[in-house]
Structure formats: C-alpha cells, structure tokens
Structure 1
C-alpha cells in the first residue's frame, strides 16, 4: 500500500535544511568598500541673491519658434570675492544647466508681450560649454515672482554700469596722476640737464673778466 510518509519526511528535511541555510548568523563583509565623494556644484563661492522656480525657453532662429530648455530653479549668484553676479538655472530632476551667464551692463529684461508672468532678455550664454547669443524667455507661477525677477535682474545690470563708470573714472584719475608725475620728472631732468650748461657758459663768460682783472692788477703793481 502506498504511503505519503516518505514524501512528508523529505519535505520536512528540505524545509529544515532551507531554514538552516537562511539563518546562519554569519557576518558577511562587503567585497568593495565605497568611499564618500564630495559633490561640488561650482556655486560654493557664491551667495544666492535670488532663487525662484520657473520654466525656461530659448528662441530657435532656424525653426522660428520658442523651445523649452527645462523647468527648475533660476538663481542670481553673487561671487564672494569679485562681487560679480551670474544667472544660473538647472533642471529640477537632472540638475542639468539650462542657462549660465553673467549679468552685465547694457543687459535688460522685459515683460513678454501678452503675458505678465513671463519676461525675455538677450545674453551671451555658456550653458552648452561655449558662448552663444541667446534670446531667453522665462515663465513664473505668479506675476509677483516675474516682477521680482525683472526688478533684481535690472538692478544688477544697472549696478554693473555704475561699477564700470566708477572704474573708468578711477582709471582716468590714475592716468592723469601718472602723466603729472611723468611731466614733473621730465621737467626736473630738463632742469638738471640745463643747469650744467648754464654753469659752463657762466664760467666761460667769467674767464675773460678774471683775466682782465688780473692784467690790471699786474699793471698797477709797483715795479721793483
């Protein structure tokens, strides 16, 4: 007569063996130990003066239409040492750079016609690793954020004009001071050069007079 006992017995053995394999209590060390790597963004020496969520577009001249660059956070970053301010925008998920350029004198941002939440500006951008003339359009979630961006951007551009004018004035003052010093030195050298010539001329003129006086003295002397 057939029986199921061996089958049950084998199954019990297999389950028992499986349990023993699962719970060994051994400590397994990782084969490769991974070191922590410090990730840098290139923004460590800069402070954010503006930080807003937005969506960026660039104008494609060939296609004659706007193309999306990505959605993320746009920042105006001020360098701690130089004081220069650049605009940087990264995509929210990939952190890929969408825009990267300095805010310079002569630049301005204006409201996009027909949309109070968007604004446009021209820039020499370096997001793709080379300088390109780009026309950007950026869109914000609210009119307030758009106005805040335009106000800060234009303030920075105007301050760059003032810095440049101040630098030009300082350079001009320094140049005038240098010219004045050089002119003074030239005059001093000219005087030093002329002085020996005058002294030599006076010496030549005085020699005949001295000779005449000596002759008169000799003539007036009593004969012995």
Structure 2
C-alpha cells in the first residue's frame, strides 16, 4: 500500500540519493597546473586604476569603446622604460599597450573633467598603429592623478633621452680627440741615413 505522507517520501528519496554505491568514477579530463606568464613579471606598477577606454575610429569618425578594466603604468626594472597597459576586466584581453614616450601629450577631454585624450603608437593588436585614445575614470581625482603621472613620466623620458644623446656626443668627441692624438704621436718608421747605405756599398766592393 502506497504511503500518502510527503515527508516520508522525501526522506526515502534523500536516503536513496545519499546511498553509497561503492562505484569509482574516474575523471574524464585530467587538468594539470599551468604557469601563466603575463609579461609583467619584470615590471613594477607605478599606477593601477579602474577606467573605461575608447579608441577614435577615423573611418567612422566616432569614438568606439575599447573596454573596461584596469589601466596600469608599468616600469621595467632593468631598462627603466614605462609602458601603459590596459586589460579588459573579465577576458583580460589587452585594450592598450604602448610606451610612455616624450611624444605622448595627454590633455583633458573637452566637456568632461573625468576623461582625457592622447595619441600613441600602440601595440595592443600585435602591430604598431597610431591611435587616439580617450579614457574615462570614476572620479576627477583619478583622472588628474593619471594625467599628472603620465606627464611626469613623459618629461622624465625626454630628459633621459637628452642626457643619453649628450653622453653619446661627448663619447664621440673623446674618441675623435683620441684618434687625432694617436696619429700625431705615432712614430714614423726610422729612416736609414743615406751615408750609411753608401758606406755599406763601398765595403761590399
């Protein structure tokens, strides 16, 4: 005779679910740990802020959203060069990836004090392309912090380039002086006096 008590039926069903059959089920796919490299291992983050990035589409003459995520300014420990890197928050796809050079001029976007724009030779798509970017932050403070940091890096990079150029020209000047000095002090082969040659000829006779 069937029981009409729903509580008993639920208990029986639960007992059936919890019953251990003793069967061993092997996983279909075995996953092993894989070391993921981001390319940022040799760099230190000078800035890390949440933002939304746009790229200007010249053909369509309009701004297009590139992605929302974390924009970083990363300084390489050996070379000292700084690059701007931004990834989408979920997919981690690269939205922007370029060096902060003296040519990078950043300015506030007209009509929006939470946004700023700049030009750069970007490598996000695997090849260098001249891009115009616009980035929008959640606050005016973050936008100002980003602009000031980028401007400071660009100025510092320009000074370093000028110093390297001066050092190179100084080194070239020193090498030039050194080569001139050596050519002046270099001794010419000693000439045998003509009288000595004549005496040797007479001896042989």
Class of the TM-score when normalised by the shorter of the 2 chains: 0.7 to 0.9
The corresponding residue for 1:92 is 89
Relative to the length of structure 1, the TM-score reads 0.76
Partner of 1:12: none
d(CA) in 2 for partners of 1:19 and 1:67? 57
Structure 2: stretches of 5+ with no match in the other structure: 3-11, 199-205
Is 1:196 the counterpart of 2:196 in the alignment?
Answer: no
Report the counterpart of residue 221 of structure 1 in structure 2: none
Equivalent runs, 1:4-153 vs 2, <5 Å: 19=16, 22-153=19-150
Cα distance, 1:31 vs structure 2: 5.0
Deviations 1:13-46 (A, max 9, x none): xx89x94994223444435432111112111111
Q: In 2 relative to 1, CA 137–30 (structure 1 residues): closer, same or farther, beyond 3 Å?
A: same
Larger radius of gyration: 1
Quote the residue 1:171 is aligned against: 168
- Deviation per residue, 1:95-132 (Å, 9 max, x gap): 11000000112221100111111000000001111111
* CA displacement, residues 71-94 of structure 1 (integer Å, 9 cap, x when unaligned): 111000001111110000011111
Q: Which runs of 5+ in 1 are unaligned?
A: 6-14, 208-224
- Note the alpha carbon deviations across 1:133-161, whole angstroms, 9 max, x for none: 00000001111100000000011011111
Q: TM-score scaled by structure 2?
A: 0.83
Q: CA RMSD in A?
A: 2.5
For 1:105 and 1:36, locate their aligned partners in 2 and report how far apart those are by CA, in whole Å. 42
Sort the Cα spacing of 1:91 and 1:20 in 2 relative to 1 into closer, same or farther, 3 A: closer
More helix by share: 1
The residue that corresponds to 1:154 in the other structure is 151
In the aligned structure 2, how far is the partner of 1:20 from the partner of 1:89? 49
Secondary structure class of the residue paired with 1:49: strand
Q: Which runs of 4+ in 1 moved over 6 A?
A: none
